[in-house]
A = this chain, B = another copy of it.
Amino acid sequence: MDKFYPNLSAEFERLLRLLEDKKVAVIGHARPDGDCIGAQVALARVLAGRGLDVICVNPDPVPRRLLFLVGGMTFYRTDDVLKNTEERAAIFVDCADHARGGERLKGRYPAPVAVIDHHLSNVGYADVNMVDSGSAATCEILAGVFLDNNLPVDAPAAQALFTGILTDTGQFRFNSTSRRCFMLAGELVARGAKPAEAGYELYERETEGKLRLLQHFLASLKLECGGRACIGTLPSGIYERTGANGEDTEGLVDYARSIEGVEVGALVEHRADGTVKASLRAKEPALRVDLIAARFNGGGHACAAGLNLKTGTENFYARLVDAIAERIAIADAEKKR
């Protein structure tokens, strides 16, 4: 069979040689998602299977709904590894930037041996740079590279990789979902990945608070820009009232975007300390919601971006509507050209 990633798989062989006899830290980003935790668990398992001493490190804890992936792997937080002076070869996964795990983790591991990632903006900041922005997920790259090199992928590693592909493709339906995603998913199922178990853990263990939060968010939805934008608002104190928590906002903004005719969906969250957080989603990359977020010192991707405003939050809703309207006008003008 043809190799999934001929070039990266050769690079991975080089990485394995560099790691011989070393202790390893597999580092993920802040607010880790399924692709980040999946990649950390799978890579740690494969390296541990080769006899290496491996730990995983994250600035934030493993989210509740991803705990099923962890198995016997050890996850440390930033403070733990700052206290400890032992030398470890650092591999950053799913981190577009050396500082995605925070400046303190960057300082603790200033010279990573490798980075494995699929973000467009990743310029390569390690010795071995396995970056492919044509991949839907970091777990897709890892799965392909493991199979290309005939490395043993056990059932927990297969499940971790499968979950990363599942979540970063939005359940196999983002633009990035390729033939290769499906072929690798099939190979991972053959090695013990359980789609139904992943689906249960990710989507069938909601809290009542989460559903109450969704209910409030839906009630708050307003169409703007002639029905081409839809914005939902969470007021300060909503977590106490619904019994939800910050993790539960995940996915809410997709409901705002899901309405026919809506091109940009937004979630605006007012916090008790007066700060404002917003998430933006576009149906088409031409809308460039990263540029809308950038107007408020935020950032992200063309179709998914976010921002955190600590000051200058007056009139935020109206200013956001203006910024979205402006981007829609620019996208319209570009389309006409």
Contacts and interface: CB of A to CB of B under 8 A. Distances in A.
Contact of A173 (B181, B183, B203, B219): B203
Contact of A221 (B175, B199, B211): B211
B207 A218 contact: no
Interface in A204-222: 204-208, 211-212, 214-215, 218-219, 221
Interface stretch (A49-57, A78-86, A188-196): A188-196
Given A182-B182, A283-B204, A211 B259 contact: yes
Interface in A168-197: 169-175, 177-183, 185-187, 189-190, 195-196
A255 interface: yes
A258 interface: yes
A223 interface: yes
A166 interface: yes
Contacts of A206: 258-260
Contacts of A258: 203-206, 211
A303 to B, nearest CB: 11
Interface string A249-270: 0000001011110000000000
B173 A207 contact: no
Contact of A283 (B178, B200, B219, B260): B200
